[in-house]
Amino acid sequence: MPIDLSPIDKAKFVAAKRAAQFVESGMKVGLGTGSTAAWLVKCLGEMVREEGLRIKGVPTSTRTSILAREVGIDVITLDEAKWLDLTIDGADEFDPQLNLIKGGGGAHLQEKIVATASDQMIVITDASKSVETLGAFPLPIEVIPFGWQTTKSIVEEALIGMDVLGRDVTLRMNGDAPFVTDEGNHILDLHLKRIGNPRQLSFVVNQIPGVVENGLFLDVCDAVVIGYGDGRVEVRDIHEGTITEDKFDFLGDDNIFGDIAD
């Protein structure tokens, strides 16, 4: 259908298009969750249908699983795959060391499990997610429903000794009810403003009974693909220490990506 992509959607699209080039036939691929990851799933679906790409996709959420099947990707579970060649996912923030905050979509538990069961993790994003220090985006932690208010109080107490600028903790809501993850849990959002020591924070938070997992992804990401609204794409590889650039031309009137919303 005819579309007029906004600059941010152009940035997401070209990042996804470039990241799809890392995928080869025969791979088992972790499929991330969120608006940017949805572009990637659509791109891979097009490659499956039009180029004969053969992959097994392991989704990180129910909504990604539904989309992957809709576009023709062969979906399997992580238990079936056992280990993945590559995971491609978005991020809410990334720093110069490619440490991440994820979980804005409420899927960081499955996303972290899938990413750490992969030979390589590539993050697709736009330049607005780049930060010098993590923490402006609220850090999500998944908690079990039982005793969540007590868990919240213990988290707040633990934050007193952390190198952070803010300590507000809120229960994520979905309308009038608590947000519920695919695993049936709740999410507490930690409004920290700046995280001075992510490793310490991650370790301390994960020791609290009732906490399942936090949204800090440390030493997991291998490369980040950054899209820009003018079609430029930058690939930063943390291991090679390289930055490469490409550029994509835009998009004719007929394409399959017009139905992806932020």
Lookup: tokens for 169: 């903790």
CA distance 53 to 47: 6
Architecture category of domain 7-129+219-247 in CATH: 3-Layer(aba) Sandwich (3.40)
- Helix pair angle (7-20, 35-51), 10° resolution: 50
CATH superfamily ID and name for 139-213:
ACT domain (3.30.70.260)
User: Across all residues in the chain, what is the average pLDDT?
Assistant: 94
- Residue 4's nearest CA partner among 232, 258, 210, 192 is 258
Q: What is the pLDDT of residue 4?
A: 75
Q: What is the pLDDT of residue 261?
A: 44
Would you name the residues annotated as active-site residues?
111
Q: How confident is the model at residue 3 (pLDDT cuts 50, 70, 90)?
A: low
CA distance 80 to 58: 9
Calculate mean pLDDT across residues 112-128.
97
Q: What is the pLDDT of residue 250?
A: 64
Calculate mean pLDDT across residues 146-168.
97
CA distance 80 to 140: 28
Calculate mean pLDDT across residues 128-148.
98
> What separation in angstroms does the CA of 111 have from each of 48, 60, 81?
23, 5, 15
pTM score: 0.92
DSSP-assigned beta bridge partners for residue 57: 29, 75
CA distance 63 to 209: 29
Residue with tokens 């009732």: 210
Domain range summary for the chain, segments of one domain joined by +: 7-129+219-247, 139-213
